[in-house]
C-alpha cells in the first residue's frame, strides 16, 4: 500500500509499536512470538497497513509490558 493511501492513525500507531519494540532491542520476530502473532503481521502493523483488532492491541501491549493506551501516540 503506498504511504499516501495509509490511514494516518494507523501509521502513527505502527510507529509507536516500532518505537517501543526498538527501545527493547527486539526484532519483529521476537515481538511477534511474545504477542502470539506472525512476524509479517508485526511488520504490516508497524507500516500502518493493518487496522489492528482490540485483541491484538492487548496482545502487543502485554508483550511490550505497557498499557494498551500507551500504544497510541499522545
In the chain the domains, ranked by start, together with CATH numbers, are 3-66 (1.10.260.40)
- Mean pLDDT, range 32-49, rounded to an integer: 98
Cell 520476530 -> residue: 29
- What is the C-alpha to C-alpha distance for residues 20 and 41, in angstroms, rounded to an integer? 16
- What is the C-alpha to C-alpha distance for residues 5 and 63, in angstroms, rounded to an integer? 29
- What is the C-alpha to C-alpha distance for residues 12 and 45, in angstroms, rounded to an integer? 10
How far from chain centre, in Å, is Cα 67?
Answer: 13
pTM (two decimals): 0.91
SS3 assignment, position 26 = coil
pLDDT tens figures, 8-35: 999 999 999 999 999 999 999 999 999 9
Amino acid at each position: 500500500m503506498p504511504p499516501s493511501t495509509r490511514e494516518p492513525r494507523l501509521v502513527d500507531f505502527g510507529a509507536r509499536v516500532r518505537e517501543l519494540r526498538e527501545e527493547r532491542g527486539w526484532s519483529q520476530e521476537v515481538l511477534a512470538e511474545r504477542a502470539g502473532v506472525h512476524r509479517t503481521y508485526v511488520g504490516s502493523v508497524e507500516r500502518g497497513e493493518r487496522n489492528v483488532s482490540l485483541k491484538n492491541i492487548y496482545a502487543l501491549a502485554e508483550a511490550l509490558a505497557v498499557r494498551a493506551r500507551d500504544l497510541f501516540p499522545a
